[in-house]
Amino acid sequence: MSLPAPAEPAGALELSERLSHNFGDPELLRLALTHRSWVAEVTDDEPNERLEFLGDAVLGLAVTDQLYRLFPDHSEGELAKVRAAVVSAPSLAHVARRIQVGPHLRLGRGEDASGGRTKSSILADAVEALIGAVYLDGGWEPAKALVIRLLGEQIEDVTAAGPGAGDYKTRLQELVAHLGHAPPGYTVEESGPDHNKRFLATVVIDQIARGSGTGTSKKQAEQHAAEEAWAALSPPSDNTTNETMTERPESRPTLDERAQADV
């Protein structure tokens, strides 16, 4: 006896309003929210992976276009670093949580039970699929406007601290090289069942542990560890000659809330 289909999430219209896009074809919104685990249980549907593929390309072009216009003095390499940080999976997952994508995802029962609605990878993929859906539904201008609305804050956050600011492994490597220390090394421990792995990373510099961080992937844990070490080792802004490696607390810069929706 076959199992009944998983329950259809409600409230997609609310998500459409948060996207500030009225879909002419609501099926595109439904498709963008359909994870492959749902398709495994509801065989007449298709997953959002093709929309995700399209949305990834639209996202990259929209962010590239915006950065090119905003920062005429940045080099190609600097722009590439900013773009990589802005369109990264953690950045997109942050957006998804902010606009509450998780409750609207169409997930299979197993994925839903294992916490799929909060998994960063699933959330990031869904944001790309939503961008692809808006592009198909309304064209380039609505899609670009959506990208800037969703990621304007991330663009400001990354550029406020300079190109590459979102990549703390790179920032830490540059800092320790400036201070004359050995390159950082990372050790990673994992725990938990296969469907809910957690990773603990420790960054070691000159045989001393300088920071630790956790995450749902090795890369995420290493970035968090690098961020902690970078904050601890960075010289105070009012004393640039201080190159000691003593730990100190440091607050991240406050985000400017200005809108970035101008095209």
Q: Which positions are catalytic?
A: 56, 128
- Of how many residues is the chain composed? 263
**Residues 6 or more apart from 221 whose CB is under 8 A from it?**
188, 199, 200, 201, 213, 214, 215
Number of neighbours of residue 74 by Cβ within 10 angstroms: 17
**How far out from the chain centre does Cα 85 lie?**
8
Buried b (16+ CB within 10 A) or exposed e, 179-209: eebeebebeeeeeeeeeeeebbbbbbbeeee
Give CA–CA dist 221/17, Å, rounded. 34
